[in-house]
Amino acid sequence: MIPDRAHLDRLDRSWRDPPGFWGFLTTVDHKRIAARYIVTALFLMFLAGMLALDMRWQLSVPENTRMGPQLYNESFSLHGSTMLFLVSVPLMEAMAFWLVPLMLGARNMAFPRLGAFSFWLYFGGVLCLWIAHAADITPDLGWFEYPPLSGPAYSPGHRADIWAQMITFTEVAALAASVNVAATILKMRPPGMTLARMPVFLWAMLIASIMTILSMPAVMLVTSMLIADRLVSTHFFSPAGGGDALLFQHLFWFFGHPEVYIIFVPATGFVSSIVETFSRRKLFGHSAIVLSMMSIGALAFGLWVHHMFAVGLPRLGNDFYTAASMAIALPAGLQIFCWIATVWSGRLRLATPMLWVLGFVATFVIGGLSGVMTASAALDLQLTDTYFVVAHLHYVLIGGAMFPLFGAFAYWYPKATGRLMSERWGSIAFIGIVGGFNLGFMPMHFLGLMGMPRRVYTYPPGMGWETLNQIATLGSAVAILGGLVFVANALWSYRHGQPAGSDPWGGSTLEWASPSPPPAFNIAYTPVVRSLTPMWDEGPGLPAMDGLGLDRREVLITSVTAAVPLYRQKSAGPSIWPLASSLAVSAMFIGSIFTPWAIAIGAAPIAATLTGWFWPDRPRAGSDAPSAGA
């Protein structure tokens, strides 16, 4: 049966945001929060891309004087920090925010206001770093700042503090987001969606969230220790004061490596969804892919020392980490095998999202294999801190995460906007980006093997690096042009794209049941899941349950393993408090760059705003006013 108009109108009235700018500031709709995350992150990716082009231009000619050392060091620090902390991780969280409720047939995230708080705090981190850049106090020590160079003695001023606080900003936002995503996936699955029937995308987001929860505290601790060393003269990283410079590296990379898998694991979720839909068959080796994802998540915490092979740690320890680092190639390899097997035994439809998956496999496997090469403790002594590693990290980050992300945009764009992106321009952008990227970054492998060190603002003539650097510059320019074509296609299709309907690709998961663009309440009823691919296995009418409140915001809470309905949880409505709290927290973070007293003074506004946020709005004791409801 089609839900009647009255049913939808009552739902829409309960779930609609207040109109206008106030609605924009107070919304807790996971789709609007995700959309602003994606827009901000894509704009920052463009800015950081421009920085990359700047550096490529500087390196295209030996002894180039276009950029001085200070400007170049600021550029690569800002490029790295922005791409990793302000673009990649937030984009993956945004995809989770946008898709997890839709795939669960739920009406919002578990903690709606916490989602709003995550975005505003992330946005505070963006402003903290980029306003500092505008004011010419850009951090200039790279995206990981090893003491003692980042210590009080060798980097005066507040540049390193701004970098460290920006990380604290984004990591608190990421932690809040991952607790939100994990709680949503564990406790809000539709009736019948047991763990065995959970789509791979949700497994990917769950595992990435758990990895975030366990790894981000390490970087928050280490940046706080660095700021303490710089501001209140603690001795964590001063060898003469009893500290150890390597303690920073251990703690940072204990976070660093899981971080890059937090970026990669969601990408495997995107690829699995796309491959399943465009091969038009159930994903081959569902359990193999999920188990591989789990082992990648677990192994990621056991191999951080491969970033420190050259610091002179005991050899046997290094060899253990070689084995652990190489072992991660097994689950990754099995995942790749399962995707290719799914395509092999399916009826392939080569639309743009599938093109991106093919681009992903072709590029990421090169990155994975160059990763296996640098994983060797011995060979890494020749490869680390050279352009070989720059090539490897771009192949696994752009090839392994950005290409699936472009595919995911092309795949879920019709669901978000109701219109299809143009296939022709989609493939032109694909050729531009993938072709340009490989032209740009393949030569860097050879530059590294020809001895070009990393992070050099210029290099002497006569080393044989000139032509390869010029090819790399050309390739990067082509890739960025392709990126602009992709964005232009997205913007153009918003108005003029072919109308898509609710399920243009014939997808297998629940997000294709709701209309596109989905209304504020996502779906009229709570779907019941009886298989891994509900949209394919059920008849014309999707089995669903009624009974969730229509006149107040309610979400269904189910049990963790078997998704048995437990109770109807009141879902928080729009509120300004998340924004207020994130302003208070931002003020405290920025203040604490200048004086430790800012933490004590800043605590008061934070306490006040959090009280406002969590103050349950129920009737006062003894008054007979009916329950205030929404």
Partner 1 sequence: MAWSAMKRRIALVPGAVPAALTGACAGIQSPLAPASDQAFALHDLLILMTAVCGLIYLLVIAGLVWSVLRARQHAKRAAAAPVDDSALDRSLIASAVIIVTGLTVLIFGSFLADRALLAARAEKAMMVRVTGHQWWWRIEYRNPATGRWVETANELHLPLGRTTRVELASNDVIHSFWVPNVSGKIDMIPGRRNMLDLTPRRSGWFRGACAEFCGAQHAHMALDVRVDDPVAFDAWLAGQAEAARKAQGPGEALFGLHCGSCHAVRGTPANGRAGPDLTHFAARRSIAAGTLPMTRGALQGWIAQPQALKPGTAMPAVPLRPAEADAVASYLAALR
Partner 2 sequence: MTAMREFELVGDLSRLPDSETGARHLVWWGNVGFMVIEGTAFALAAMAYLYIMTQAPAWPPKGDAMPGLLWSSIFTGGLLLSALPNLWVLHCAKTKNLAGVRWGALAMTVIALLLFVPRAFEFVHLGVPWHRDSYGSLIWMLLILHTTHVVTDWFDTAVLGVWLFTHEVGDDQFADVEDNANYWSFVILCWIPIYVLIYWLPRAA
Partner 3 sequence: MLIVLALAGCSQEARRLVPGPPQTAPNGNADPRIPAYQENLYQISQGGRYFAWYGCSACHGEDAAGPANLADGDWRHGGGFANVFAVIGERHAGQDYAARTPVEQRWQLTAYVRDLSRHHAEKRRRIMLDQKAEPQGSAWLGPQ
* Least distance between partner 3 and beta carbon 180 (Å): 26
**Interactions with partner 1, residue window 534-593 (CB under 8 A):** none
Distances (CA, A) of 251 to 20, 101, 168, 243, 607: 45, 34, 14, 13, 30
Nearer to partner 3, 6 or 134 (CB): 134
Residue 247 makes contact with partner 1 by CB under 8 A: no
* Least distance between partner 3 and beta carbon 232 (Å): 8
Residue 608 makes contact with partner 1 by CB under 8 A: no
**Alpha-carbon gap, residue 106 to 524, rounded angstroms:** 10
**Contacted entry of partner 2, partner 1, partner 3, none for residue 418, CB cut-off 5 to 8 Å set by kind:** partner 2
Other Cβ atoms within 10 Å of 10 Cβ, number: 14
Q: Of 2, 96, 61, which Cα lies nearest the Cα of 525?
A: 2
- Out of 8, 25, 61, 245, the only residue in the binding site for partner 1 (CB under 8 A) is 245
**Contacted entry of partner 3, partner 2, partner 1, none for residue 292, CB cut-off 5 to 8 Å set by kind:** none
**Interactions with partner 1, residue window 440-469 (CB under 8 A):** 446, 449-451, 453-460, 463-464
Residue 214 makes contact with partner 1 by CB under 8 A: no
**Alpha-carbon gap, residue 256 to 278, rounded angstroms:** 34
How many binding residues for partner 1 (CB under 8 A)? 85
Q: Of 130, 137, 107, which Cα lies nearest the Cα of 40?
A: 130
- Out of 362, 488, 599, 628, the only residue in the binding site for partner 1 (CB under 8 A) is 362
**Interactions with partner 1, residue window 293-352 (CB under 8 A):** 310-312, 315, 318-319, 322-323, 326-327, 329-330, 333-334, 336-338, 340-341, 343-350
Residue 196 makes contact with partner 1 by CB under 8 A: no
Site of tokens 């801190």? 385
**Alpha-carbon gap, residue 139 to 530, rounded angstroms:** 53
DSSP string, 327-390: HTHHHHHHHHHHHHHHHHTS-----HHHHHHHHHHHHHHHHHHHHHHHHSTTTHHHHTTBHHHH
Nearer to partner 3, 159 or 281 (CB): 159
DSSP for residue 559: -
**Interactions with partner 1, residue window 48-107 (CB under 8 A):** 68-70, 73
DSSP for residue 158: S
Phi, psi of 158 (to 5 degrees): -110, 15
**Contacted entry of partner 1, partner 2, partner 3, none for residue 18, CB cut-off 5 to 8 Å set by kind:** none
- Out of 165, 212, 268, 386, the only residue in the binding site for partner 1 (CB under 8 A) is 386
Nearer to partner 2, 187 or 257 (CB): 187
CB 83 within 8 A of CB 45: yes
Phi, psi of 145 (to 5 degrees): -110, 95
**Contacted entry of partner 1, partner 3, partner 2, none for residue 499, CB cut-off 5 to 8 Å set by kind:** partner 2
**Contacted entry of partner 2, partner 3, partner 1, none for residue 614, CB cut-off 5 to 8 Å set by kind:** partner 2
**Contacted entry of partner 1, partner 2, partner 3, none for residue 159, CB cut-off 5 to 8 Å set by kind:** partner 3
* Least distance between partner 1 and beta carbon 148 (Å): 5
**Alpha-carbon gap, residue 59 to 75, rounded angstroms:** 13
First to last CA, the chain: 28
Nearer to partner 1, 330 or 604 (CB): 330
